[in-house]
């Protein structure tokens, strides 16, 4: 689960044998810890969220209508001329790699605000990363979402809080860059995308690895058939046990069930998404026939065998020549997110059905392993 702390440099991609079924070797390298308290709740039906009423005007004179149209056009142009203004929910460790560093090189993105319930922690975070505005206290998240000077919200909160605070941000008219896993269940993901479509807003699951040219090149090679027909696929994403003591904090939220934690949620989504993308089965339903949960890392010899390379190719530009000039996967992801907000066609995009399909696979994985399902939670104000 330490990919959120990866080095800010691109790396080569090793293409190995692709084999029939995606066996995601995900394991917990520490026992689960209790972190605070929270109240689990079932998914909230979309229809319970109120719709914003449409205002109509009648008998408007032509001059007034023209003035309003010109004013609206001027407002829209002003919005296009300024960078997309981001607010971050929480002083998260993923924030620098996930958004802050990529935004430094993107002319149309700027992080203006961070919300942290711990005032001192939020102030340190803002000072370190040059964020001009902070919100603190129990209403911090509410205040950030209500801020009219924020265009988009980056939601890196613990897994169990993704659903509620993304819906709140959408209701407030904000675009949302949402950390993976997108939600606790596939149904919650469907509701998020339905609300975003209803309101004409952009929601993107931050599956950053999808956006790198190397990832797209792997897809092109596999789908071209030059390696032959794919018969099966082994996929592994592991972290050495000795590194766990440095990668995870004491009582890390990733191991907190009440916050929808677990290795399958934090790491398992990556190999699932990778094999779907590489084989072109982005939205196809996968049936999980069996799953085994274990608190120990996978066998390193077996992992090496799955990574055995028959062909290695370094790819830092797309097939048509477009190049991010050394961008990380997070920077490519931000490029796509901002382009979508601006109405441009992104170089790469993750279809909503793909995010839903990945979450459905994770749900099956937990069910087959015998562990209880994950639930989103309500954070008391």
Q: Is residue 291 part of a domain?
A: yes
Report how many domains make up the chain.
1
Angstrom distances, CA of residue 354 to CA of 37, 205, 231, 273, 370: 32, 10, 22, 8, 25
Reported as a single tens digit per residue, the pLDDT across 33-91 is 333 333 444 444 433 333 333 333 334 556 666 666 665 555 566 567 799 999 999 99
* Predicted TM-score of the model (pTM): 0.67
What's the burial of 246, exposed, middle or buried (CB within 10 Å: 0-12/13-18/19+)? exposed
From the list 128, 133, 180, 340, the catalytic residue is 180
Q: Is residue 295 part of a domain?
A: yes
Reported as a single tens digit per residue, the pLDDT across 93-105 is 999 999 999 999 9
Q: Is residue 97 part of a domain?
A: no
Nearest alpha carbon to residue 358 among 256, 297, 288, 289: 288
Q: Is residue 71 part of a domain?
A: no
Distance CA(177)–CA(154), nearest Å, equals: 5
- E strand spans, the chain: 13-16, 19-25, 39-40, 84-89, 109-116, 133-136, 152-155, 175-179, 203-206, 232-236, 309-313, 377-378
Per-residue pLDDT of the chain in tens (381 residues, 90 and over written 9): 333 333 333 333 333 333 333 333 233 233 333 333 334 444 444 333 333 333 333 345 566 666 666 655 555 665 677 999 999 999 999 999 999 999 999 999 999 999 999 999 999 999 999 999 999 999 999 999 999 999 999 999 999 999 999 999 999 999 999 999 999 999 999 999 999 999 999 999 999 988 999 889 989 998 998 888 877 777 777 777 677 777 767 677 777 777 888 888 888 888 888 888 888 878 776 777 777 776 533 323 322 222 222 233 455 667 777 777 789 999 999 999 999 999 999 989 999 999 998 889 888 888 888 888 888 887 766
Q: Is residue 289 part of a domain?
A: yes
Give residue 359's domain range.
Answer: 8-39+211-318+352-378
- Alpha carbon 69 to chain centroid distance? 36
Q: Is residue 165 part of a domain?
A: no
Q: Is residue 285 part of a domain?
A: yes
Annotation marks residue 180 as catalytic = yes
Q: Is residue 129 part of a domain?
A: no
């Amino acid at each position: 689960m330490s990919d959120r702390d990866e080095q800010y440099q691109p790396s080569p991609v090793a293409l190995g044998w692709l084999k029939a079924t995606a066996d995601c070797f995900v394991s917990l390298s520490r026992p689960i810890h209790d972190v605070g308290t929270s109240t689990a709740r079932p998914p909230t039906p979309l229809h319970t969220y109120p719709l914003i009423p449409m205002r109509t005007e009648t008998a408007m004179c032509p001059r007034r209508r023209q003035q309003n149209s010109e004013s609206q056009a001027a407002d829209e142009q002003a919005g296009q001329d300024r960078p997309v203004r981001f607010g971050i929910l929480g002083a998260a460790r993923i924030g620098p790699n996930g958004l802050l560093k990529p935004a430094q090189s993107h002319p149309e993105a700027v992080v203006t605000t961070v919300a942290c319930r711990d005032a001192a922690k939020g102030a340190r975070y803002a000072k370190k990363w040059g964020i001009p505005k902070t919100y603190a206290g129990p209403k911090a998240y509410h205040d950030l979402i209500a801020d009219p000077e924020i265009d988009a919200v980056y939601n890196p909160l613990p897994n169990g809080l993704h659903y509620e605070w993304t819906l709140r941000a959408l209701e407030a008219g904000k675009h949302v860059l949402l950390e993976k896993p997108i939600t606790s269940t596939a149904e919650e993901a469907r509701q998020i995308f339905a609300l975003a479509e209803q309101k004409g807003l952009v929601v993107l699951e931050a599956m950053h690895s999808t956006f790198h040219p190397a990832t797209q090149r792997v897809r092109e090679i596999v789908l071209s058939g030059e390696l032959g027909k794919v018969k099966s696929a082994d996929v592994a994403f592991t972290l050495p046990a000795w590194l766990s003591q440095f990668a995870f904090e004491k009582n890390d939220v990733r191991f907190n069930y009440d916050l929808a934690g677990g290795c399958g949620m934090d790491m398992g989504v990556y190999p699932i998404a990778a094999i779907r993308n590489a084989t072109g089965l982005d939205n196809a339903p996968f049936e999980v026939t069996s799953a085994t949960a274990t608190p120990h890392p996978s066998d390193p010899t077996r992992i090496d065998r799955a990574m055995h390379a028959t062909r290695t190719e370094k790819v830092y530009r797309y097939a048509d020549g477009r190049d991010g000039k050394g961008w990380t996967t997070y920077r490519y992801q931000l490029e796509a997110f901002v382009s979508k907000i601006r109405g441009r066609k992104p170089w790469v995009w993750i279809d909503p059905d793909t995010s839903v399909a990945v979450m459905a696979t994770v749900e099956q994985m937990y069910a087959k392993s015998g562990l209880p399902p994950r639930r989103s939670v309500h954070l008391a104000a």
